[in-house]
Structures are given as C-alpha cells and as structure tokens.
Amino acid sequence: MSQETEHVKCLIIGSGPAGYTAAIYASRADLKPVMYTGLLAGGQLTQTTEVENFPGYPQGIMGPELMEDFRKQAERLGTEIRFGYVSSVDFSSLPHKVVVDDVKTITADTVIISTGASAKWLGLESEQKYSGFGVSACAVCDGFFFKGQDVAIVGAGDTAAEEATYLAKLARKVYMIVRRDEFRASKAMVHRVLNTPNIEILYNTETKEILGDGQSVTGVKVINNQTNAETDLDVTGFFVAIGHHPNTDIFKGWLHMDETGYIITRPGSTETNVEGVFCAGDAQDHIYRQAVTAAGTGCMAAIDAERYLAAKEHVVTA
C-alpha cells in the first residue's frame, strides 16, 4: 500500500552503465534526476572481475570499481541516488506513477528504464561457487583470460554459437556442450561453429558439475543423456550461454515488448510506446549487451528525456 508521494522531473530505474550514464547526462541538463538502484546496485558488472574492454582504462579495471566510478560521477553532478526497488508502475496517465519498495509513490514527468538483464544460469551449486573464478556468462568480457587454455561453453543458441567462435580464437580448444542432438542457433552460425576446427561439439550432453580446486575451475563433469556415460573435461574456463532474461516484468502490460520481454524502443531512439518513458541498456538490447553500448543508450535516453520535456514546455508556454 502506497503511503508517501513525491514528484520528480526525471526518474531513473536501475544503476548499471545505462542508468548511471543517463544520470550523468540528465544531471548536466538540469533534470534533477533521482535514481533507484534496484537490488543489485551497480548492475551486472559488479559481479565480474576485471573489465578490459571499457574505453578509457588502459590497464583495465575491476567491474565493481568501474561501477563505483560511474556512481561517484553521477553523484558529483547532482543525481540523487537511492537504494530501492521499483515494485510497480502505472503509466496510464501523466505524470507517470512509480511505486518503490511497495510503499512510496513517486510521480515523474519522465522515466528512464535501465533495469538491465540477467544471465540465465544452470543452477548448479558449483557454478555459483566458481562464478568469477573460471565460470562466466560473458565470453566477450572474460574470454581473454583463457588465452591458450581449454574451455567449455554450454548452450546451443546464437549467443552460444557466437561466443564459441569468439572463444575459439583465443583458447586452444573449446568444448561446446549441447543438450539436444541439434542446435537452436541459425544455420549461418551453426555453419561457423562446424567450420571452426578447435571447437568440439558434445551433443546430447549435460553439465553435471563444475570441478575445481577450491580456488578456480579445473574441469567439468558432463553426462551423455542418451548413454548416461560421464566424462570429465579438462578445462579452466566454463562459459554459460543459455540466454538472458531482461528485468522488465514490472512493465508488462504497459510497454511494448518482444516475445522474450525486451522492451521495444523506436529505432534510432530510446522512446517506448508511452510518452515520457524511455528505455536504455540491456532491458532493450539482446544483441550487443556491452557496458559501453548500454552507456551509449543511457546517454541517448537522457537527451531524449530532456528534448521531450523541452518540447512540452514549449507547447505550454507558446
């Protein structure tokens, strides 16, 4: 039940690279943004180790430290950052209504959604134990650390196929663990995988356990679901590429989404189907999913919000 109400010009939901970049631009445009961080303040990058591909850090930077830098910059420029979880929204009329932690209602002239996406995991205890220590859900982020080593990747969709071929350029050998006897990925991607000599595909195979020495990954136990034969793969890296789910459930029914829940924005912009509501980052991007692309669309969202408000003001005062 909502108890308090507050009005803001620009509300930013989510605190990954998209949200913080939107915050930086919105602050500088004097939109006096208020950000709710969500439960995982700083987003997916706070769960990674070293980030080497974010421009501006020639020596690389640890993910949590990078997000701390984002936060400090947004705060210094005037964003009010609050820890809290948006539990529901009502976009039926202006201003938009957003409920935080089930108790507080905020009305907002503009809303920037940057709630991101979460990687799907297999759900094994050992997978969680070695997350960041050999287990990763992002080959582009972490593949480099396995240069010349043997790795395994699980999944058979376009992401897995793309990441397997990416890893094959760095690793000595890539085992691709496919649970059925065929891929889900497009023909072109499968063709690329089949034509990469250092990828070995293990069909009808499932992951039983990630093996490790207590510090990092040393192998993977897999089982053939036809014969029940178990094999230990000698790998130091284990990549999970079984899909992502966008964190957009609370917007269902209000915003147009694709069949997997990614918010649809007007091409070349961050506008959603509701006026004054913009979306940036992984909540609307299932293709690139990089910190730098999320930051780019965060910047776009703040500019779109600022222009939307300026146009409205112009109509009111004209």
Return d(Cα 229, Cα 260) in angstroms, integer: 34
Return d(Cα 146, Cα 235) in angstroms, integer: 10
CB 50 within 8 A of CB 25: no
Between 82 and 179, name the residue whose CB sits nearer to ligand NDP. Answer: 179
Site string for ligand NDP, 144-173 (x = CB under 6 A): ----------xxxxxxx-x-----------
Instruction: Report the residue from 28, 76, 147, 180 that binds ligand NDP according to the rule CB under 6 A.
Output: 180
Compute the chain's Rg from CA coordinates. 22
Site string for ligand NDP, 67-106 (x = CB under 6 A): ----------------------------------------
Active site residue 299: no
Residue 28 CB neighbour total at 10 angstroms: 13
Task: Report the nearest approach of ligand NDP to the CB of residue 260 (Å).
Answer: 7
Strands lying side by side in the sheet with 237-240: 135-136, 237-240, 150-154, 173-177, 199-202
| Using rule CB under 6 A, residue 286 touches ligand NDP | yes
Which residue in the shown chain puts its C-beta closest to ligand NDP?
A: 157
| Using rule CB under 6 A, residue 179 touches ligand NDP | yes
Return d(Cα 22, Cα 40) in angstroms, integer: 18
Positive or negative, the Cα torsion across 47, 141, 249, 94?
A: positive
Active site residue 30: no
Instruction: Report the residue from 106, 122, 217, 305 that binds ligand NDP according to the rule CB under 6 A.
Output: 122
| Using rule CB under 6 A, residue 184 touches ligand NDP | yes
Task: Report the nearest approach of ligand NDP to the CB of residue 50 (Å).
Answer: 23
Between 110 and 131, name the residue whose CB sits nearer to ligand NDP. Answer: 131
Active site residue 279: no
Return d(Cα 111, Cα 310) in angstroms, integer: 15
| Using rule CB under 6 A, residue 261 touches ligand NDP | no
The answer, yes or no, to whether the previous bond of 95 is cis (omega within 30 of 0) is yes
Between 124 and 303, name the residue whose CB sits nearer to ligand NDP. Answer: 124
Positive or negative, the Cα torsion across 288, 289, 292, 298?
A: positive
Chain contacts with ligand NDP (rule: CB under 6 A): 122, 154-160, 162, 179-180, 184, 242-243, 286-287
**Residues forming the active site:** 138, 141-142
